[in-house]
Amino acid sequence: MSFDRRRPRGARFGAVALAVLLAPLPSAGASQSSTNQSAPVDPATSAFVTDAGVILIAVKPALTAEYEQAVRTLQEMLAKDTDPARRSAAQGWRVFKAAETDAKGNVLYVHLLLPAIPGFDYRPSLLLDALVKDLAPELLSKYQESIAGAPSKLSLTEFANMTVAPLPPAAPKKPGGR
């Protein structure tokens, strides 16, 4: 991949980040330990086990207004909510609209969760259903219609923070664990 020096650095970073997000993900079951396989897990859950997460949602181009209306309604309800878990989750939740589309022409929305609250389910449809008691039934159905496919979820572990000097590498262990 060659970089055009005339493009702003942010555009190059955005292209690389988008490529990473669109890469095939390992199946959710592949990372579970054998001791955790007995507990059934909802495959649609958007809960994280790490301190940061990303949810990438592809939205049909003709239905972006419906998707954005649902997200703004959720934002409004979370701002008024008194539940400590939801308020905590909302504090680190930002939604970005990508300038680029996916390979099928769908509009991409990136939900950045930093920090992510471990175990909290970030599915907008569940939260809308729980928070908006007098929700117009068509809002949720239009939101669901707007989604082009299953969202991609990435649980992230920080590898490097570029705003601070790196820590020295750990000393190699000698044979025998010393």
User: If we measure between CA atoms, which residue out of 21, 49, 162, 167 comes closest to residue 115?
Assistant: 49
- The answer for residues whose C-beta is within 8 angstroms of residue 134's C-beta and 6 or more apart is none
At 49, give phi and psi (nearest 5°): -110, 0
Per-residue tokens: 12:
């190059």
Mean pLDDT (the chain, rounded) = 80
The predicted pLDDT at position 178 comes to 60
The predicted pLDDT at position 175 comes to 80
The span from the CA of 123 to the CA of 130, in Å, is 11
Three-class secondary structure of residue 27 per DSSP: coil
Note the Cα 82 to chain centre separation in Å.
23
- Whether the per-residue pLDDT at 19 is higher than 50: the answer is no
User: If we measure between CA atoms, which residue out of 144, 125, 122 comes closest to residue 60?
Assistant: 144
pLDDT digits (tens, 9 = 90+) for 72-125: 999 999 999 999 999 999 999 999 999 999 999 999 999 999 999 989 999 988
- pTM metric for this prediction: 0.69
Query: CATH topology for 45-156?
Result: Alpha-Beta Plaits (3.30.70)
151-132-93-149 Cα dihedral, nearest 10 degrees: 10
List Cα–Cα distances, 79 to 46, 51, 90, 92, in angstroms: 20, 22, 8, 13
Size (the chain), residues: 178
Which residues are 55's β-sheet partners?
A: 111, 153
